[in-house]
Chains A and B, each alone.
Chain A
């Protein structure tokens, strides 16, 4: 019994003596940073390749995010300029028409209502045909049969039900509707409007999904690059273990190295993306794409975007390296 107790006490003392080392966490951290930096510089080809892959991954993320923003702005522009036209009889007095317009303005789903009188419509017609003197002459001879036009902009082009029902049922408007021209809610125009609304919502969802997907792809790419680095340095890892490096010490330099890839890649991607954006701006605007708000935001907050990219790059690197080394150490536990 005494012998067993002695044995236990001695085992405890031996273990205590074994693990008695001065903890120097800052010194160990600085060494991990030093090893990470050195191996980044020493394995220059792998470092260049990994940084390049990371630049591609970050560029994909930036392109996905910027495209989503540009598309949203473009579709918002379309939405904002989307106007429904309601045609009213041409011989109505202004007061009556104004009254009807005010009733429509009161609806929650309506953002703006504008009126065009038959006289203003005639002026617009003449302005449109200012190159064709015969048309202008004819307009002076003919009786003005242009209707009153009520232009309506709604808050959400997908939610037009309230306006439609109101115009058809409220007598202050329904009684004034032109019998020969249906409102633009109907027919082909209505379908186009609803298609645009559906596309907007679809693009938003796809953009978000694509961004998330590419962040995942970036993690995978860096994960495999770090695995390659680990494979190249497996002898070094083996030696580190045999001379008594802990798992966290082995992991540290790889994580630092991947964070360096992320930092450099983020800086390069910021420059690349901004230059690309600047170069493509005029070209995109020619196609009616709304680039200005995104470009102006990028120009004003370039530092925030670069910082965001830096954080993303560093996080992708650290996460991928952590997973890769953890996997290696798990498969090679001793």
Chain B
């Protein structure tokens, strides 16, 4: 029997960056996310969205509360096991964070090589993932030769190449025009349909409607609304 049914569990999580009397970045947050679920996190800048995501990638530690991801309790997770954990979580950022001096192929292969995949495995996986994001014909280009939407698709390919159980997309459409935004949104939906749990942050209501997923609103570090899939988010 599987005791932990949730993919991500945050229990009364609080994080402060400043003094104790200042407003915390996250304030007593409870959040459960199911496997294969897509959750859209909305909120204004500084509301605590990024801090929440950093907690899940274990870049930040909570001052109070408990985090469990994929059945791994972060309180008992040794430092040496953090890289293993991160190989199960894909991350996409607004500013892509591609390595500018490496080709599209090398950027994607990089994630696999670090995780210890053989050259044969890498050569097999990278073209398939680039095909998934529609960039097979651009694998030898450098990031500077790509459009914003293409760069974000490379970043997505890099993050899903290791078949992570969770994909974290931190405002991935923030730097894109409309056409590219919808392409990325559809791509993320496709990845979710393939079975990956997705957390997607945005403050664009149109995207929220298009994704048609559970939506969590954060304000001043607190979850103020948790709207199930299919309900209208205002």
Contacts and interface: CB of A to CB of B under 8 A. Distances in A.
Interface of A: 3, 6-7, 10-11, 13-15, 18-19, 21-24, 27-28, 31, 42, 235-236, 238-246, 249, 334
A40 to B, nearest CB: 12
A239 B97 contact: yes
B59 A334 contact: yes
A42 to B, nearest CB: 5
B19 interface: no
Interface string B74-115: 001100111111111001000001010100000000110111
A23 to B, nearest CB: 8
B17 interface: no
Nearest to A239: B97
B114 A245 contact: yes
Contact of B58 (A22, A245, A334): A334
Contacts of A243: 86-87, 110-111, 114-115, 158-159, 162
Nearest to A7: B3
A245 B84 contact: no
A10 B71 contact: yes
A153 to B, nearest CB: 67
A230 B123 CA distance: 29
A10 B84 CA distance: 17
B194 interface: no
> Which 10 A-B residue pairings sit nearest by Cβ, starting from the closest?
A244-B87, A14-B71, A244-B86, A243-B111, A244-B83, A245-B114, A246-B83, A334-B59, A19-B84, A42-B101
B44 interface: no
Contacts of B82: 334
A244 B97 CA distance: 15
**Chain B contact residues (Cβ within 8 angstroms of A): what range?**
35 or more
Interface SS of A by simple majority: helix
Contact of B84 (A21, A235, A242, A249): A21
A251 to B, nearest CB: 13
Given A10-B71, A242-B57, A18 B116 contact: no
B115 A11 contact: no
B175 to A, nearest CB: 16
A28 B116 contact: yes
Nearest to A22: B116
A133 B101 CA distance: 87
Nearest to A28: B116
Contacts of A27: 116, 118
Contact of B85 (A3, A18, A42, A240): A18
Contact of B72 (A18, A21, A235): A18
Nearest to A23: B116
Nearest to A10: B3
A18 B4 contact: no
10 contacts: A11-B73, A11-B76, A235-B97, A239-B99, A242-B57, A243-B86, A243-B87, A243-B110, A243-B159, A244-B111
Contacts of B76: 11, 15
Contacts of A245: 83, 114
A10 B72 CA distance: 9
Given A19-B81, A42-B101, A243-B115, 5 more contacts: A11-B71, A14-B4, A24-B118, A239-B110, A334-B59
Contact of A10 (B2, B57, B110): B2
A19 B115 CA distance: 11
Contacts of B115: 21, 243-244
B91 A242 contact: yes
Contacts of B111: 243-244
A238 B2 CA distance: 34
B20 interface: no
Contacts of B3: 3, 6-7, 10
Contacts of B60: 334
A241 B84 CA distance: 10
A81 B134 CA distance: 85
Residue from B113, B115, B159 having most chain A Cβ neighbours under 10 A = B113
A142 to B, nearest CB: 91
Nearest to B4: A10
